[in-house]
Structure 1
Amino acid sequence: MRFSDETLLDITKRFRAELTRGLGGDSNATASLKMLPTFVRSIPDGTEKGDFIALDLGGSAFRILRVKVSHENRQTVEMESETYDTPDEIMHGSGTRLFDHVAECLGNFMEKHKIKDKKLPVGFTFSFPCRQKKLDEGYLIKWTKRFKASGVEGADVVQLLNKAIEKRGDYEADIMAVVNDTVGTMMTCGFDDQRCEVGIIIGTGTNACYMEELRHIDLVEGDEGRMCVNTEWGAFGDDGSLEDLRTQFDIEIDRGSLNPGKQL
């Protein structure tokens, strides 16, 4: 159970090699860390202001926040939030039902906060591995954690949510961005401290993102400037690279999980 310093340095070396493999155009397909480009090109510079809604789907609870950022006298951030349960039958049911649930919670939130008549910009924190080609579109690669809703893998989650909102027809929402929770965390901290260039989540799952030089990211065209990369580091070892270190307990816990062999 206790690793020597030597073993830890060895794991670090393997981990670094996987990060590099994930960034490479030829090696990404077989890399366990997918190093997903997020299309977030910079951290906040503190001049941002406005009235926003943030959705956070990915843990055991679904959260909705209204965030007001203003600069009168001094910078202030006001937040109001509500938490909604996501029952197992919704997590494991159909994708349509899941996004209907999200749209219903958002409707309830807007009703409660008396903003149903406004079309506010929405940021959608969706804490699962997504392939992105732009900021407001994210194709779910695969469910992780306790989620297993059908018909969502391979689909654009922004489109699914828009469809659920349109079907209701009692409010409008403008989904500007879909981001991973690691990215949301980095951006929030970056708002207060511009030196923050890493976001880490340790919760239902674990993951990290960081700002990378664009020239190192083969999956995106161009080499000027930087982009935030979602490492999806929870998958480290999924390719068998940690088999010599896993104990009988690791194997047993994995066997009993919803996605055996994944997120080792």
Structure 2
Amino acid sequence: MEEMRHVDLVEGDEGRMCINTEWGAFGDDGVLDDFITSFDREIDAASINPGKQLFEKMVSGMYMGELVRLILLKMAKKGLLFCGQVSDALRTKGTFQTKHICLIEQYKGGLENTKEILEDLGLNSSEDDCIAVQHVCTIVSFRSANLVAAALAAILTRIRENKKLKTLRTTVGVDGTVYRTHPQYVSSLSEKCKTHGDLV
């Protein structure tokens, strides 16, 4: 909810207005170009809406699995994983899903889950390969949490400053498969919100 006097696009300054940030489209104007990787660009180009919803493609569960697949594919082709072996499944869009990331990043059984998932993808993996795949998943998840936290902190900081408050007490409703099922996403997002905006 935003005070009307702070909403430039609407006439009048009495009362408050519910704002839908539509932040999935953040970056469509180029402001995220410094943060977009070649993998992000590949996902965007292959999507049904190239050049649109760029922030969503960097953070949402709908794209995280595919992002990991593209990274693993490149690493395998360079001989950095699986002794350079590349399976048909690893070459196929959509075969590595965000639910796999959640299983791989579990505190207990994550390494065993990794081995099993890679076998299902037709890949023979060493323990070092499994650890590397876990690391890739962690990086992709951590980046998502960081970006979401930065966006959230920016909104909450704006509200706090507009209200001229030293502290802001509020509730943020969050939904989504990643938030509900990823074993480390919630704590990572909460920690980064505190870091970005001195928020609790």
Taking structure 2 as the reference length, the TM-score comes to: 0.31
Higher fraction of strand = 1
RCO comparison, higher one (Cα < 8 Å, 6+): 1
